[in-house]
Amino acid sequence: MGVLATNLGFPRMGPYRELKRSLEAYWAGKVPAVDLEQAAADLRERHWRFQAGLGLNHIPSGDFSLYDHVLDTAVMVGAIPARYDAVPASLDRYFAMARGGKLGGRGVTALEMTKWFDTNYHYLVPELAAGQSFSLSAAKPLGELRQAAALGVATRPVILGPVSFLLLAKGTGDRAANLDLLPGLCAIYAELLVELQSAGATWVQIDEPMLSVDLDATQRGAFGRAYAALREAAPNLRLLVATYFAGLGENLATALTLPVDGLHVDGVADPGQVDEAITHAPESLALSLGVVDGRNVWRSDLEAVLGRLEAAKRALGPERLMVAPSCSLLHLPVDLDLEPAIDGELRSWLAFAAQRLKEVDVLVRGLNDGREAIEEDLRESSAALASRAASPRVHDPAVRQRLVDHDTALEERTSPYGERRRAQEKRLGLPLLPTTTIGSFPQTPAVRQVRAQHRKGAVDTPTYEAGLRRYIDDAVAFQEEVGLDVLVHGEPERNDMVEYFGELLEGCVVTTNGWVQSYGSRCVKPPIIYGDIRRRQPMTVDWATYAQSRTDRPVKGMLTGPVTILQWSFVRNDQPREVTARQLAFAIRDEVVDLEHAGIAVIQIDEPALREGLPLHAEDRQDYLAWAVGAFRLASSGVRDDTQIHTHMCYGEFNDIMESIAAFDADVISMEASRSQMELLTTFTDFEYPNEIGPGIWDIHSPRVPEQAEMEALLLAAAAVVPPERLWVNPDCGLKTRRWEEVRPALVNLVGAAQAVRDRLQSQ
């Protein structure tokens, strides 16, 4: 058959976010479950037909999800926490696990949510009880396999592997202790494999991304035990173990000796491991080489990649070689052809999910039919690379000179935190346990509509800006009425906390339909950083100063930090990420200084992506943390002592990098903490955070409105660990995805909780 063209996973939401609209209509009670399920089936069919039309040999099924694939796995193996037992298996129970809300007449909290390795995708963290038992519910993987077969499309089912599932889950002890549950879980996976084979599967892809992180001997040994059991259960079913996001390092030997038929390795994240895998792979093992980038949008160098694959083919033989993207295409927009507004030169440098699969097809045709079969494709690829390298729009001498002249003294505040605190107390006059929000308020349909109309030219700029000022007037008045201490303008002008800045910075371009799933129905459009970065003009000053003019209370200037803009964009790959981070830091620094000069006393520079940028292997982390901390400090340190710098982080595991977070030297940091019931605070028993901190007391990713008593309990837990004089009160994250009907009562409860705890502490 020759070399195989394969794919690990396809974007779920649809090119125009069709799934998002169906999900939110279902959640709002506007459509029944059958309509949601039909919309999902239609999307799957479209994706399979597209991939089949390219001639892919292995097309994934089971990669689709109504919310999250890790949640799907928890449901599939029966890992359902007891609080969801109020109703039997149903969409309502599934979405209650994902979002919280009402179930069986009572309120339930959602599963915790955190980042999927070093990406901006969020997964739901499974909860495992002591002595957890498992049971198989195979309707989803079997149903999708059969749906594709009915369309005449043979697919390769995709499931999250048992060892990675346990290591990603939250148990009663540390996560390594979850491996005690492996025998029972493997029995369920064995049942599943037998059923998939009976339903017509010939290959099954089992994702084990935990092989790409540092593991100890016990954890590595778990893979051998698990796959020995699975092989015994399904001896004639071909199994492909897929790894991605990093090199396997010390785990490669383990992966190569698993009793499986194929191994996928990420040849973009770690090209060197490809040669090592080829050298040491047993003759019975096929290798799937991820050689086109599943996480970034720059067109592949087909000439260079083909040369590497030709060497692999000579070493392995065509029957043992598969060509694939480096990882699931979940992390890319669907189709570059939906971006007519991007100019021809820049378009020629790019590839989205559809184009990545076309690259795979071209490469496999070149391997099977010879270079002459793809001669024109190779010429186009080389011409695009040459065009990008030579383009003057990529290089800005002034920006590069500023980096050359960079003095590390620019990364230091004038005075230490203690002196700054006294200056800020005098200027701001805030009470004990000051209250604030993270920045954004609900993006109402009216706001979205006027912004879209302005973008299309249907509404002129004065009318547009007048409408946003009315929104700000209402937001400021509401915050004063509720009793918040530090206010925000609500960000009605912003479509997204990164895309907004991408529109305004030189060296970036934003897309029209470049949607990427972040979690659930939430999608973002990452900017594309193609050149050197500089700020054209002030980006936020007018909105912040207008809001400040409407109140005597301090209003925060709201910015996104350089590391988060870097992480949540498609970043140029022709220079080190550190260089781009410093360019972004200078642009944000200029904005910070202008906000201060305009009279803004509190400036928040959000860095929620710090943790997700952490390399997966410990040996690479210190270098990253050094330049990431330096970039934040460069952005934030150009202000006086009495200007208060905030930052915000959310939905990541920050415990192991608290020293680096402290090194930011922000005056105040707010962090997500409510979903885990303040689990984050255990860090502060061993590490005394030196500045001020606001652990979130309201999970804003759930539609439920927490009661005041619930918030008080979380705040008291925080006050038991953090000195109250350094404690702030805030939600977990921005409020743009919530409705005003939820925001109003929740903020009333938040302020009430702060006042109640304030009174209690002051009376002691």
325 in Cβ contact with 360 (< 8 Å)? yes
Structure tokens at 29: 């009670």
Task: Give the torsion through C-alpha atoms of 496, 499, 504, 510, to 10 deg.
Answer: -140
Instruction: From 262, 263, 331, select the one nearest 293 (Cα to Cα).
Output: 331
Radius of gyration of the chain from Cα atoms?
26
Helix 577-597 to helix 397-404 angle (10° resolution) is 90
- How far is the CA of 25 from the CAs of 19, 419, 452, 568, 649, in angstroms? 10, 52, 21, 27, 30
| CA–CA distance, 116 with 507 (Å, rounded to integer) | 28
Q: CA 684 to CA 693: how far, in whole Å? A: 11
DSSP, residue by residue, 267-294: TTT-THHHHHHHHH--TT-EEEEEEE-S
Cβ burial of 122 (10 Å; 0-12, 13-18, 19+) is buried
Q: Are residues 155 and 148 in contact, defined by beta-carbon separation less than 8 angstroms?
A: yes
CA dihedral 266, 270, 276, 280 (to 10 degrees): -30
Please give the Cα distance from 327 to 705 (Å, whole number).
Answer: 37
Contact 662, 629 (CB under 8 A): no
Number of neighbours of residue 362 by Cβ within 10 angstroms? 25
With a CB cutoff of 8 Å and minimum separation 6, the contacts of 164 are 207, 208, 209, 210, 211
> Which tokens sit at 218?
């016990």
* DSSP per position, 207-228: E-GGGGS---HHHHHHHHHHHH
| CA 185 – CA 133 distance, rounded (Å) | 8
160 touches 73 (CB < 8 A): yes
DSSP string computed for 5-60: EB-S---SS-TT-HHHHHHHHHHTTSS-HHHHHHHHHHHHHHHHHHHHHTT-SBEE
Contact present, 733 and 701 (Cβ < 8 Å): yes
Q: Which residues pair with 645 in a beta bridge?
A: 603
Question: Which ranges constitute the DSSP H helices of 252-405?
Answer: 252-256, 272-280, 302-316, 344-347, 353-369, 375-390, 397-404
Residue whose C-alpha is closest to residue 12's, from 57, 55, 48: 48
> How many Å apart are CA 555 and CA 546, to the nearest integer?
10
Contacts of 35 (CB under 8 A, 6+ apart): 22, 25, 26
CA distances (Å), origin 335, targets 228, 530, 632, 733: 40, 18, 34, 31
Among 146, 152, 6, 165, smallest CA distance to 62 is for 146
701 as an active site residue: the answer is: yes
Report the C-alpha gap between 754 and 486 in whole angstroms. 13
Q: Of residues 122, 331, 454, 701, which has the active-site annotation?
A: 701
As a whole number of angstroms, the distance between CA 728 and CA 433 comes to: 5
Q: Which amino acid is at 330?
A: L
536 within 8 A of 504, measured Cβ to Cβ: yes
Q: In terms of C-beta density within 10 A (0-12 exposed, 13-18 middle, 19 or more buried), how is residue 165 classed?
A: buried
Which residues form the catalytic set?
Answer: 701
